[in-house]
Amino acid sequence: MKLGFIGLGRMGEGMVPNLLAAGHDVTVYNRTAAKVQPLVERGAHAAAAVAGACTAGAVITMLADDAAVEAVSLGDGGIISNLGRGGLHISMSTISVALANRLTAAHAEAGLRFVCAPVVGRPDAAAAARLYILAAGAPDAVTECTPLFAAMGQHVLFMGDAPRSANLVKLATNFLIMSVIESVGEAMALVGKEGIDRRAYLEFLTNTLFDAPVYRTYGGLVVDGDFTKVGFAAPLGLKDVRLALAAGEELRVPLPLASLLRDRFLALLAMGGEALDWSAIGALAAHDSGQRGPMG
Amino acid sequence: MKLGFIGLGRMGEGMVPNLLAAGHDVTVYNRTAAKVQPLVERGAHAAAAVAGACTAGAVITMLADDAAVEAVSLGDGGIISNLGRGGLHISMSTISVALANRLTAAHAEAGLRFVCAPVVGRPDAAAAARLYILAAGAPDAVTECTPLFAAMGQHVLFMGDAPRSANLVKLATNFLIMSVIESVGEAMALVGKEGIDRRAYLEFLTNTLFDAPVYRTYGGLVVDGDFTKVGFAAPLGLKDVRLALAAGEELRVPLPLASLLRDRFLALLAMGGEALDWSAIGALAAHDSGQRGPMG
Amino acid sequence: MKLGFIGLGRMGEGMVPNLLAAGHDVTVYNRTAAKVQPLVERGAHAAAAVAGACTAGAVITMLADDAAVEAVSLGDGGIISNLGRGGLHISMSTISVALANRLTAAHAEAGLRFVCAPVVGRPDAAAAARLYILAAGAPDAVTECTPLFAAMGQHVLFMGDAPRSANLVKLATNFLIMSVIESVGEAMALVGKEGIDRRAYLEFLTNTLFDAPVYRTYGGLVVDGDFTKVGFAAPLGLKDVRLALAAGEELRVPLPLASLLRDRFLALLAMGGEALDWSAIGALAAHDSGQRGPMG
Amino acid sequence: MKLGFIGLGRMGEGMVPNLLAAGHDVTVYNRTAAKVQPLVERGAHAAAAVAGACTAGAVITMLADDAAVEAVSLGDGGIISNLGRGGLHISMSTISVALANRLTAAHAEAGLRFVCAPVVGRPDAAAAARLYILAAGAPDAVTECTPLFAAMGQHVLFMGDAPRSANLVKLATNFLIMSVIESVGEAMALVGKEGIDRRAYLEFLTNTLFDAPVYRTYGGLVVDGDFTKVGFAAPLGLKDVRLALAAGEELRVPLPLASLLRDRFLALLAMGGEALDWSAIGALAAHDSGQRGPMG
């Protein structure tokens, strides 16, 4: 399939090679051009502007936040003015439900098709084509994406006709991950202050009821206490919990645990943790109990 | 090994047959005698009083709460006055850290050995000899329990010399389970109010990052929304989170998520949920958002 | 002094007569014209558009929310394009810190002066010229407002050179009022379920340590339990706590009590409380304890 | 009136002189005898044991906590065995609702009358006979106390027939004070990080809606940031919020703000704040935002 791909950050640069390897014809665009060359060497075409990535009539965006997706989609040189009637925009970034609403309306008005397909997985999963993809939009449009999703991910879940639903589920899932970090952080603060071996306790947990990747990965980070290797930065964690709370506000769903998580991120950033991994909030319970915190 | 076993509730009545099957010589005692006969038919001896279960010099207690363990252990007819110097008391109930402290001191003063070995697992796991056992106490005493634990459980974790540590870890583990219930409850309230299929979302979760028994079991209960089949009753959930908070208070460890869980249990009980399973707190986020709550 | 006044809602329609009574020459504008006539009869001039209220070179805005203030200030027919170099815009609405920042920059760029002067007080206080005014901006500009503030309020507090600071303080003050509502709500839920006379207890409080208008007014509303007479609507309460939290997020200040209040407002709105007074959140603690809630 | 008075701590030593000054005949007892002599010099009689303070048939207790009241009331040498049929015990300490229940039952069984009359006020209010007294018990018994209360306080509120109710109201009142500390702490953290003058803001508050002693006293302590002069120690604050939460648990009333306050006290004590005034929790919001905390 012929398509454009906009956004070659840590996720996008891992996803494009998998599309190429599956035989797709990909034209890439990135704001900073340096990221383009390695992909051209692997068979991608380079576009000099957003418009150039839209000529195929289908384009994927994989960008950092609402502002970036909005800038690339709307406006004079943006996707909507360049994609051509009937074209397909697949938004794979984690964006707010509110922006998904606006983009859905804007694409419809322009006679374009819009699919949201945010992913669960870190950069290494993107590179290994092992992402989990949450897709929502008009069923025929989502079906058209099937070969693309197959090239990039290990699992696709169809979340319904409203593109925004996929983003909501993505935010709910990140909320669940943060909840694991917080709960393990509190449990470890408790047993740690008693003098119990926290690593042995984690091993017990992940060998029994809590035998899941999320406890092994994030429980391990909390027990290790080294948050300087960043898979997902703390400010992005704050952004995602803010978006989850905003979605809850729109739907009138109080989320007290999400509120607690938001306060944790703010405390972490206030302490100087901007450059830490988001799992560093898991050290705040220990900090508040007079033990070692996220800043050592 | 020759031993007594006190407490034939839903857990104890499943554990004793496994001890008998492994060749141990067990004398059972229960406050209400009706529970005794079926075990006698399977080879157990019956004791008419606590004292009778102490003659072997080793005794397991598996009782409902602090009050029951205290009553059976201390006082004139209790374990401490009947076990005989050097005897071994293995407390497998979930008790408070404070009571574990007092019992540790009382046994030491009487020249007795005391091991705490609370278990993780529901009655069906007890019957199937698939409990997880958290053991703490003097190493030689814990070692002496090895054949007993092997008969009743699938996994033993040694938590150190202080018996109370095993109870603390048990409470931390139940806190982690409740945290899963709450976080899934909030996530499902959010996606459910959006109109997304909650069961499909849970399946996605348990097929991916959250592929663990605790999400399958408790996530399933929250999504089903039927809390009338009680594996662990809501008032016991409240008791356990209260004990975790009390341990946190003693150790000066604030546990804000545990505080939230405690408030959830109180709201559940205030609404009339005394007879529901503890997982019913997972319906409160939906209730607070104007959706279906724990009482239907 | 000659000036324009934009926004004749429940607050503005009470404030303008006080300006007129003090001898000021006021040209009023309101989106819905019906509110204008009564003020013209008292001596005001009517403007047909925002521009008409800007000819005097000084204009007050008293509008519902960020969107309204933004619409009236920016854009082709807005204040900034019509006020004339050196003109003075006095924003008395409760707006976000973020919007205050943007308006400060936009006015500076256009060579205009900008003062924020949000007020504390209900419509009856506005009509009685008994508002408390929180003013911030360039000192000479604030000084120029002195006769206006004297006509409308009983007390002015100068909050510094940055206009946004006045809005921050206004949001902090509304947060403190909501905190009173919540704390009284919890205390009354507790003593009420014990069967104690809640009104007698409130009287005790307001005769002793808690002898302040905020306890008499809001404590009285919580004890009465009738929230249908709306002084300040629940959705505006949600808006203000959201703006306080957003300011906290920008400044990296976790506000856990504000987070709790936000969840209270969401639960209230989810239950159907959109049309109630914001003090209705004070009935949620009783509701969660199985007593009478905000909807009766 | 002839009566005994047990407990000459910072409160009791201020209250007894007021009873003497009003002409009452008081026999005092204190565990550490040194406190007795100054009162004897002012006209009190000294008792060598609890029994000696019971001979008049009426006795007031003013002690530190549940354990002290329990020890002095129950047991061989205690009030109940010494007061004599029909005697009157007036408990003015802040005790738990649960202990009030037990003491009510124990006194009834012994044919004694029992009144709870906890007070609101610091030691200086006790010395100045300006306490607020919350009294509950059989109406005739409370009436009998009237001249005593008149000598010690400025205001009495009758809370009903159940002695425990007075303690519940006392706990609710202390909860309200703590809520003021927390809310002011958060508001000051927010405006303080903005760079606004916190003292000027407090003055504005206490001159307007928040014109009450509780805001002047506790707001002042939070703004000053010096918590080393102890009026009421932090561990006693933790005790009182724990008792309020326990009462809420018994009555099935979730108190989320009280839960937050409990976590604040634990964090304060974990940081080493044992010797600070309870108002030091008001510095934790600032601490969590990277500003100055309770330990400087």
C200-231 pLDDT per residue, tens: 999 999 999 999 999 999 999 999 999 999 88
Q: Is D264 part of a structural domain of the chain?
A: yes
Query: What are φ and ψ of residue A115, in 5° steps?
Result: -120, 135
Mean pLDDT of A64-81: 93
Scan residues 100-159 of B and list those with Cβ closer than 8 Å to D: none
All residues of chain C having their beta carbon less than 8 Å from the beta carbon of residue D214 are 209-210, 212
* Domain harbouring C280, CATH code: 1.10.1040.10
Mean pLDDT of D211-232: 95
Contact A251 B172 (CB under 8 A): no
CB of D174 within 8 Å of a chain C CB? The answer is no
Domain boundary, last residue among B161, B191, B212: B161
Please tell me which of the candidates D194, D204, D248 has its beta carbon nearest to residue C157.
D204
Tokens 């702490």: give the residue: D185
Please tell me which of the candidates C263, C270, C288 has its beta carbon nearest to residue B290.
C270
Residue B36 · residue B43 · CB < 8 Å: no
State the pLDDT at residue A122.
Answer: 84
Contact C247 D132 (CB under 8 A): no
pLDDT band of A231, cuts 50, 70, 90: confident
**How does the average pLDDT of chain B come out, rounded?**
96
**How does the average pLDDT of chain C come out, rounded?**
96
On the question of pLDDT at C192 being above 90, the answer is yes
Query: What are φ and ψ of residue C176, in 5° steps?
Result: -65, -35
Q: Is B115 part of a structural domain of the chain?
A: yes
Mean pLDDT of A220-230: 96
Q: Note whether D29 and D132 are same-domain residues.
A: yes
Q: Please give the structure tokens belonging to residue D269.
A: 């004590």
Please name the residue of chain A whose CA is at the shortest distance from the CA of residue C251.
A270
Calpha distance D61→D88 (Å, rounded):
11
Residue C291 · residue C193 · CB < 8 Å: yes
Q: Is D111 left (phi over 0), alpha (psi -120 to 50) or beta?
A: left
Please name the residue of chain C whose CA is at the shortest distance from the CA of residue D289.
C253
Q: Is C293 part of a structural domain of the chain?
A: no
Q: Note whether C125 and C179 are same-domain residues.
A: no
Q: Note whether D21 and D123 are same-domain residues.
A: yes
pLDDT band of A76, cuts 50, 70, 90: confident
The catalytically annotated residue of B2, B170, B193, B239 is: B170
Amino acid A3 reads L
Residues 6+ positions from B199 with CB-CB distance below 8 Å: B223
All residues of chain A having their beta carbon less than 8 Å from the beta carbon of residue B281 are none
Query: What are φ and ψ of residue C212, in 5° steps?
Result: -145, 150
Q: Is C295 part of a structural domain of the chain?
A: no
State the pLDDT at residue C231.
Answer: 85
Catalytic residue ranges of D:
170
State the pLDDT at residue B76.
Answer: 84
Q: Note whether D101 and D204 are same-domain residues.
A: no
Q: Please give the structure tokens belonging to residue C260.
A: 């709790």
State the pLDDT at residue D122.
Answer: 84
Domain boundary, last residue among D115, D135, D161: D161
Q: Note whether A11 and A125 are same-domain residues.
A: yes
All residues of chain B having their beta carbon less than 8 Å from the beta carbon of residue D264 are 254
Q: Note whether A212 and A113 are same-domain residues.
A: no
Decide which of A121 and C107 is more confident: C107
Q: Note whether A58 and A107 are same-domain residues.
A: yes
CB of A81 within 8 Å of a chain D CB? The answer is no
State the pLDDT at residue B145.
Answer: 97
Q: Note whether A175 and A266 are same-domain residues.
A: yes
Q: Is A155 left (phi over 0), alpha (psi -120 to 50) or beta?
A: beta
State the pLDDT at residue C78.
Answer: 95
State the pLDDT at residue C206.
Answer: 96
pLDDT one-digit tens code per residue, D45-65: 999 999 999 999 999 999 989
All residues of chain A having their beta carbon less than 8 Å from the beta carbon of residue C258 are none
Scan residues 216-255 of C and list those with Cβ closer than 8 Å to B: none
Q: Subunits that touch chain C (at least 3 Cβ pairs < 8 angstroms)?
A: A, B, D
Tokens 């002599």: give the residue: D37
β-pairing, C45-46 vs C131-135, is unpaired
Contact D269 B252 (CB under 8 A): yes
Q: Subunits that touch chain A (at least 3 Cβ pairs < 8 angstroms)?
A: B, C, D
CB of C274 within 8 Å of a chain B CB? The answer is no
| Cα of D16 to nearest chain B Cα, Å | 35
Q: How many domains does chain D have?
A: 2
pLDDT one-digit tens code per residue, C49-83: 999 999 999 999 999 899 999 999 997 899 999 99
CB of B296 within 8 Å of a chain A CB? The answer is no
State the pLDDT at residue B296.
Answer: 77
State the pLDDT at residue B46.
Answer: 97
Query: Could you give the percent of chain A with pLDDT greater than 90?
Result: 94
Q: Is A295 part of a structural domain of the chain?
A: no
Residue C35 · residue C8 · CB < 8 Å: yes
Residue D259 · residue C186 · CB < 8 Å: no
Calpha distance C97→C103 (Å, rounded):
10
* Domain harbouring D115, CATH code: 3.40.50.720
The catalytically annotated residue of C35, C170, C229, C239 is: C170
List the domain range (segments joined by +) for residue C132. 2-161
pLDDT one-digit tens code per residue, B181-207: 999 999 999 999 999 999 999 999 999
Distance from CA of residue C169 to its chain's centroid? 11
Please name the residue of chain C whose CA is at the shortest distance from the CA of residue B273.
C290
Residues 6+ positions from B149 with CB-CB distance below 8 Å: B117, B133, B135, B156
State the pLDDT at residue D75.
Answer: 79
State the pLDDT at residue B75.
Answer: 79
Q: Please give the structure tokens belonging to residue B283.
A: 């319906």
All residues of chain D having their beta carbon less than 8 Å from the beta carbon of residue A270 are 288-290
The catalytically annotated residue of A2, A170, A193, A229 is: A170
Contact A175 B183 (CB under 8 A): yes
β-pairing, C2-6 vs C25-29, is parallel
Give me the total of CB pairs closer than 8 Å, taking one residue from chain B and one from chain D: 47
Q: Note whether B238 and B126 are same-domain residues.
A: no
β-pairing, B58-61 vs B2-6, is parallel
Please name the residue of chain A whose CA is at the shortest distance from the CA of residue C247.
A266
Kind plus residue range of the DSSP H or E element containing B285:
helix B284-288
B170 catalytically annotated:
yes
- Distances in Å between the Cα of C240 and the Cα atoms of C64, C116, C255, C261, D205 are 11, 16, 14, 10, 18
On the question of pLDDT at D296 being above 80, the answer is no
Q: Which residues of chain B have pLDDT under 70?
A: none
Domain boundary, last residue among A127, A161, A195: A161
Strand order in the sheet with C58-61: C45-46, C25-29, C2-6, C58-61, C88-91, C113-116
State the pLDDT at residue B168.
Answer: 97
Mean pLDDT of D100-109: 97
CB of C274 within 8 Å of a chain A CB? The answer is no
Contact B157 A200 (CB under 8 A): yes
Calpha distance A48→A26 (Å, rounded):
14
Q: Note whether B15 and B140 are same-domain residues.
A: yes
Calpha distance D127→D13 (Å, rounded):
8
Q: Please give the structure tokens belonging to residue B29.
A: 């005692």
Please tell me which of the candidates A263, A271, A288 has its beta carbon nearest to residue D290.
A271
CB of A260 within 8 Å of a chain D CB? The answer is no
Give me the total of CB pairs closer than 8 Å, taking one residue from chain A and one from chain C: 47
**To the nearest 5 percent, what fractions of chain A are helix, strand and coil?**
55, 15, 30
Calpha distance C145→C1 (Å, rounded):
9
Q: Is B296 part of a structural domain of the chain?
A: no
Q: Please give the structure tokens belonging to residue D39.
A: 């009162």
Mean pLDDT of C155-175: 95
- SS3 for C46? strand
Strand order in the sheet with D131-135: D119-120, D131-135, D153-158
All residues of chain A having their beta carbon less than 8 Å from the beta carbon of residue C260 are 256, 259
Q: Note whether B199 and B55 are same-domain residues.
A: no
Please tell me which of the candidates C242, C264, C266 has its beta carbon nearest to residue A253.
C266
Please name the residue of chain D whose CA is at the shortest distance from the CA of residue A288.
D267
Mean pLDDT of A61-88: 94
Q: Whole-model pTM? A: 0.94
Buried b / exposed e over A181-218, threshold 16 CB at 10 Å, is bbbbbbbbbbbbbbebbbebbbbbbbebbbebebbbbb
**To the nearest 5 percent, what fractions of chain C are helix, strand and coil?**
55, 15, 30
Scan residues 36-65 of A and list those with Cβ closer than 8 Å to B: none
Q: Note whether A143 and A259 are same-domain residues.
A: no
| Cα of D238 to nearest chain B Cα, Å | 9
Calpha distance A93→A118 (Å, rounded):
5
Contact C175 D159 (CB under 8 A): no
Please tell me which of the candidates A180, A190, A197 has its beta carbon nearest to residue B253.
A190
Q: Is A84 left (phi over 0), alpha (psi -120 to 50) or beta?
A: left
Please tell me which of the candidates C179, C193, C207 has its beta carbon nearest to residue D251.
C193
Please name the residue of chain C whose CA is at the shortest distance from the CA of residue B264.
C288
Distance separating the N- and C-terminal Cα atoms of chain A: 50
pLDDT band of C296, cuts 50, 70, 90: confident
Q: Is B57 part of a structural domain of the chain?
A: yes
pLDDT one-digit tens code per residue, C246-283: 999 999 999 999 999 999 999 999 999 999 999 999 99
- SS3 for A17? helix
Q: Is D105 part of a structural domain of the chain?
A: yes
